[in-house]
Structure 1
């Protein structure tokens, strides 16, 4: 009887862990190389398609007269749920957990982070829209990107 209960608990635990992996797979619409050029600033972002509950990404922003800014990202199935982790220069990795939402949209949130508190991706037709938002000094701040697929 104890063995059967242990097996049942293992199956339930495995099922609970599998759900976020399936949720990561639903983000396949983000995969690809994306680019935005605005006011002379070139921003590129590339996402690998999900495999085994993980997506890896990298971004680069080139602003005239400045050193390129390079960042790395991971979306993975974690105990807290599907988690977007930003790895930025000079900062510890910062996790944001996926909120419930509709297909073709992903909002990740970390209310404890200074800025941003939310990282948002959504499909805008053939384009990928990105947004970071949050509150700074009591004021709502946001940055938006509208990426075109690099062919």
Structure 2
């Protein structure tokens, strides 16, 4: 199912032998659901099971002193999904779905300073992401594996 439409935020890489549960069925972005952590354990994203078409998430960056950065995320349903990002609880910065298929989604906000593009992709048991300017410059890539219990 591919939709090109109008209009991501994540963190760093990981490798783990843990298998994860298959994504919930019924929501086009259900594959985001779960707890995701970078290889070095310093970045984490958690996405809830979809509720009434909405997805809720949060991201943390950890350092030796604890949490150095956090943000909340909310994906609103609609003809186009809208990703609302609240860095440090402030916001929302709204990013509108521009492209979606069965295992990836891209959100855009050309008026935002950085990032302007947020992309998530499910690759087997990993969650990959990147952020960039709308033209693809200043790209930063991130990779997560499922959190260990």
TM-score (norm. length: structure 1): 0.72
Q: Which residue of 2 aligns with 1:32?
A: 34
Question: How far apart in 2 are the matches of 1:127 and 1:57?
Answer: 17
Q: Which residue of 2 aligns with 1:130?
A: 129
Question: How far apart in 2 are the matches of 1:141 and 1:84?
Answer: 20
TM-score (norm. length: structure 2): 0.73
SS in 1 for 2:31: helix
Question: How far apart in 2 are the matches of 1:85 and 1:76?
Answer: 8
Q: Which residue of 2 aligns with 1:83?
A: 82
Q: Which residue of 2 aligns with 1:144?
A: 141
Higher relative contact order (CA 8 A, sep 6+): 2
* Residues 1:32 and 1:90: Cα distance change in structure 2 (over 3 Å): closer
SS in 1 for 2:138: strand
Flag the structure with higher helix content.
1
Question: How far apart in 2 are the matches of 1:50 and 1:32?
Answer: 11
Q: Displacement of 1:78 after TM fit? A: 4.4
Number of corresponding residues: 123
Q: Which residue of 1 aligns with 2:104?
A: 105
Deviation readout 1:97-135 (Å, 9 max, x if unpaired)? 111332100000111111101111001221000111116
Contact 1:98 1:106 in 2 (8 A): yes
SS in 2 for 1:29: helix
Note the aligned Cα RMSD (angstroms).
2.3
Residue ranges of structure 1 left out of the alignment (5+ in a row): 1-23
Contact 2:60 2:67 in 1 (8 A): no
Q: Which residue of 1 aligns with 2:117?
A: 118
SS in 2 for 1:25: coil
Contact 1:25 1:51 in 2 (8 A): no
Question: How far apart in 1 are the matches of 2:90 and 2:76?
Answer: 19
1:15-94 equivalences under 5 Å are 25-38=27-40, 42-64=42-64, 67-78=67-78, 81-89=80-88, 91-94=90-93
